[in-house]
Amino acid sequence: MAAKKFDMIVIGAGPGGYVAAIRGAQLGLSVAIVEREHMGGICLNWGCIPTKAMLRSSEVFHLMHRAKEFGLKADGIGYDLDAVVARSRSVAKQLNGGVAHLMKKNKVTTFMGEASLPAKGKVLVKTDKGSEELTAQAIVLATGARARELPGLEADGDLVWTYKHALTPTRMPGKLLVIGSGAIGIEFASFYNTLGADTTVVEVMDRVLPVEDAEISAFAKKAFTKQGMKIMEKSMVKQLDRAKGKVTAHIETGGKTEKMEFDTVISAVGIVGNTEGLGLEALGAKIDRTHVVTDAYCRTGVEGLYAIGDIAGAPWLAHKASHEGVMVAELIAGKNNVHPVKPESIAGCTYCHPQVASVGFTEAAAKEKGYDVKVGRFPFIGNGKAIALGEPEGMVKTVFDAKTGELLGAHMIGAEVTELIQGYVVGRQLETTEEDLMETVFPHPTLSEMMHESVLDAFDRVVHI
């Protein structure tokens, strides 16, 4: 079998891989992409996109119950879970087709199958029809990650679910346990709680959404509790006893264990990189706790082999993967002035209710790094647009370097903050100071005015509180 030769081969067609392939093709490289399951990867098919579609349904359901507040009438409010899921799947399917179209449009050769690297510069693809051998000087690993499963807490698809089961439920949970309060766990907790499940969230760390600023975590906990969720922090699920239609969870908090009964458990305790079966160790690539070790430019140390996205470690975010894909394609094409992706410049967004978004350092992290900080805060209740929307609960927090005025971090909770955060992301990218932000005119009435007020507050110039 004659090997097919390319300039660049990408393994994995998620948001890292397919974007790398497109950028490579734009720069005149001949590109192949290998995907074993779905074009668009987990994010598009089983992650970011379908979860947002489901959360939108629960948000509309929540607003329907508030109709009276807005002078509206809505009777007989209910939902059809199968229809909610069907809409979510159709959104994913539409975008999946869009990625396939983009590959064709950019003349990227697609191979559907399982890839392995038998030698440097070689990729073997096992397809339904047999095997294909591909060669290239540059190979980009973008194989992503999957849900971590803890011993004894493994999913069975019936009583214990992973994110995939939670996205295609066969029934509505009555009493739900969510293990883990990171973005995935808390989004599912928010969705099912809004639809009426009696929801308990167990988090091993000392607070929910543990990567967020402590004040934001505290605000979120208060909001979730008000919505009827039970939040258990510094707690660990030690054991699950499964019986017909029920699970008894042994939950340890502060050395004491209590047993609680549920009909459904969602496990969201992190991810593991898809590094197996590729032949990476034999090539000399280093793997640390299921992730490929790379430098700032995603180089693995093996000549011509790069790793991007979830397989290359935290932060595990689609937009980080895409940006790394562009960077690596530009390196391979020989472009100058290629800049590495800075993890602290990447925003994190969680689409629970209320939404949470952040970029840069938390107040605690900034202080740990030795900065003398100035901190500003502004509540949603002080913003006209938030009140008009009927969304007065939330806050914007900004952290500055007191000496230079550099924006070190921004942290938000409340309506539409996942859209607002980009203002601060751009500000940080352009190395904006507090003076620039204070002199920027924000349109009225908008939620974005709170971003201005939070900056003003950090420097004792706040107007509306």
Say if residue 181 carries a ligand binding annotation: yes
Contact 187, 57 (CB under 8 A): no
CB 465 within 8 Å of CB 379: yes
Is 184 a known ligand-binding residue?
yes
d(CA 97, CA 82): 22
Among residues 134, 137, 109, the alpha carbon closest in space to that of 123 is found at 134
| CA-closest candidate to residue 412, choices 455, 462, 366, 369 | 455
The 3-class SS string of the chain reads CCCEECCEEEECCCCCHHHHHHHHHHCCCCEEEEECCCCCHHHHHHCHHHHHHHHHHHHHHHHHHCHHHHCCCCCCCCCCHHHHHHHHHHHHHHHHHHHHHHHHHCCCEEEECEEECCCCCEEEEEECCEEEEEECCEEEECCCEEECCCCCCCCCCCCEECHHHHHCCCCCCCEEEEECCCHHHHHHHHHHHHCCCEEEEECCCCCCCCCCCHHHHHHHHHHHHHCCCEEECCEEEEEEEEECCEEEEEEEECCEEEEEEECEEEECCCEEECCCCCCHHHHCCCEECCEECCCCCCECCCCCEEECHHHHCCCCCHHHHHHHHHHHHHHHCCCCCCCCCCHHHCCEEECCCCCEEEEECCHHHHHHCCCCEEEEEEEHHHCHHHHHHCCCCCEEEEEEECCCCEEEEEEEECCCHHHHHHHHHHHHHCCCEHHHHHHCCCCCCCCCHHHHHHHHHHCCCCCCC
Question: Is 319 considered catalytic here?
Answer: no
The b-or-e profile of 173-187 (16+ CB within 10 A means b, else e) is bebbbbbbbbbbbbb
Residue 310 is assigned to a ligand binding site: yes
**180 assigned binding-site residue:** yes
Residue 186 marked as a ligand binder? yes
> Active site residue: 65, 101, 339, 444, which one?
444
Does 52 carry a binding-site annotation?
yes
**Alpha-carbon distance 397 to 413, whole Å?**
9
270 annotated as a binding-site residue: yes
Inter-residue contact 210 to 222 (CB < 8 Å):
no
185 a known binding residue? yes
- Residue numbering of the annotated binding site for NAD(+): 180-187, 203, 270
Q: Which residues are catalytic?
A: 444
- Residue numbering of the annotated binding site: 52, 180-187, 203, 270, 310
- Residue numbering of the annotated binding site for FAD: 52, 310
